[in-house]
Copies of this chain bind each other. A is one copy, B any other.
Amino acid sequence: MKKLTFLVLTSIAFFACKTEQKQTTTASKTYTEAAYKQDSTQIKKLFSIALTEGKSYEWLRDLTQNIGSRLSGSEGAAKSVIWGEKLMKEVGLDSVWLQPVMVPHWVRGEKEVANYEFNGEKINVPICALGGSIATPTNGITAKVIEVKNIEEAKKLGDKANGKIVFFNGAFDNTLINTFRAYGGCVAQRFAGAATVGKFGAKGVIVRSMTNGIDDYPHTGSMGYGDIPKEEYIPAAAISSRAAENLSKHLKENPNIEFYFKQSCENLADAPSHNVVGEIKGSEYPDKIMVIGGHLDSWDLGDGAHDDGTGIVQSLEVAYLLKKNNIQPKNTIRIVFFMNEENGLRGATEYARLAKENNELHIGALESDAGGHTPRGFSIDANERNIQLVQSWKNLLAPYGLHDITAGGSGADIGPLKDDYVTLVGYRPDSQRYFDYHHAATDTFDKVNKRELELGSASMASIVYLMDKYLYNKETLKP
């Protein structure tokens, strides 16, 4: 910040020029007028095809409405693997195969129930078990409630938590423009809440749903017990943000509220499942691989439309758009529908393990797992030279609303591929609406806009086209 204001003081232009020149030095190695013309023309074509002949919207309708939710180990997940393999073949990829992987198999059981009495009135609370949680005793749990705002407060509870239900009520910081940052600031309550207070003898944990707004839907998500002893495992659930607001208010008037909740979820033995993989062989470097993917599994409450059905159909549409536009990639383009991102990352881990075992050279990877909303940009996790290279494309991408080309994280499923040479990129659509639906019953097809989805596919195809053409790899990076 200090540096920024200084630069602004001395000259915004100077700062801008420095950046620009760096980028051009990088780009100029590859750039001629003809190349720029060709690239901007190809990108325009990719967008035009996506917006007039795109398939992603109908693919998503089929996945979300004919299969629906796809929690790892579920029948929906198994169906989606067959669906994905069939669709990749229809799109005409050179080869399509399944990668076997064992996944956690957690089941929700019957619908959860929660309520408490306040001023003689019974208040019903929208609640759902967190993925990975154990069940309550058959008759449920009834206990007094102790409210905290974050994990740090919870760590200090000690005996105060004994025999209580610990209520994690830390809300999103709505002043953060990027809602994923607000999520990052709260999600530890959901993931580590139970593991934090189990040792204090707490009877259970209820967590405020991870969302920006005030709604009546519980938003589920993964939690873990880490390495705490089994006897310290306690049930954990999410309650709607409105119920959390009300409970907090009611507790101020009556700290002795007895909260009741009941859930019958269960962790079953690991189940067999698959990553779905298909590729277009590279014309010049068939052994150099670029992965484009999202995750096929979803939570069980909605239809997994934005998380991550959109990433799945956009990833496959990248291949469809390249073929439709007669772009033959130099490197091998591999589309991967990863299994089990939500509660284990087993698919991604297995994909990376096999890549290593088979000495595959991955030069790049692109993931779409931030929803199907209108395009904003890309986040790049790579060596400095490739970060500068990707940022030098900003004039080619800006006409499509892709202005945020920043260094940062990429995606959970491609993360395990990280090394000193691979360029990992995360597609970044607008984040404002995402947590309205995230992990809730409201994550359904009707929340996805056709054009926004297609613009995302074209944005991804455009950067894949440029990465395939220009990316520095292990050899070319050498001075």
Contact = CB atoms under 8 A, between A and B. Distances in A.
Interface string A94-131: 00000000000000000000000000000000000000
A399 to B, nearest CB: 7
Given A13-B24, A23-B12, A432 B36 contact: no
Contacts of A395: 8, 12
Contacts of A52: 174-175
Contact of A12 (B5, B27, B213, B403): B27
Interface stretch (A309-317, A322-330, A448-456): A448-456
A32 interface: yes
Contact of A33 (B6, B36, B399, B452): B6
A169 interface: no
Contacts of A33: 5-6, 8-9
A433 B108 CA distance: 36
A204 B213 CA distance: 49
Contact of A32 (B9, B23, B48, B451): B9
Contact of A433 (B24, B179, B212, B452): B452
Interface in A389-439: 392, 395, 398-401, 403, 430, 432-433, 436
Contacts of A450: 213
Contacts of A401: 177, 376, 403, 430
A354 interface: no
B376 A177 contact: no
Interface residues of A, number: 49
Given A13-B23, A33-B5, A399-B177, A449 B433 contact: yes
A21 B27 contact: no
A36 B395 CA distance: 26
A467 B36 CA distance: 37
A450 B212 CA distance: 10
A75 interface: no
Which DSSP category, helix, strand, loop or mixed, fits chain A's interface? helix
Interface in A277-305: none
Contacts of A8: 31, 33, 36, 395
Given A12-B23, A23-B13, A177-B399, A430 B36 contact: no
A337 B47 CA distance: 38
Interface string A6-37: 10110111001100110110011001110011
A181 to B, nearest CB: 12
A450 B63 CA distance: 29
A388 interface: no
Contacts of A11: 24, 28
A72 interface: no
Given A401-B376, A430-B374, A451-B212, A47 B175 contact: yes
A51 interface: yes
Contacts of A433: 449, 451-452
B6 A48 contact: no
A295 to B, nearest CB: 25
A5 B395 CA distance: 11
Interface string A170-189: 00001101010000000000
Contact of A374 (B28, B47, B374, B403): B374
A188 B403 CA distance: 33
Contacts of A13: 17, 20-21, 23-24
Contacts of A51: 174-175
A401 B433 CA distance: 14
A130 to B, nearest CB: 25
A36 B12 CA distance: 11
Nearest to A32: B9
A6 B436 CA distance: 45
A398 B398 CA distance: 13
A27 B17 CA distance: 16
10 contacts: A5-B33, A9-B32, A12-B20, A12-B23, A47-B177, A51-B175, A213-B450, A213-B451, A430-B430, A433-B452
Closest 3 CB pairs of A and B: A9-B33, A13-B20, A403-B403
Given A374-B430, A433-B449, 12 more contacts: A8-B36, A9-B31, A9-B32, A9-B33, A11-B28, A12-B392, A13-B21, A13-B24, A16-B17, A51-B174, A177-B400, A432-B455
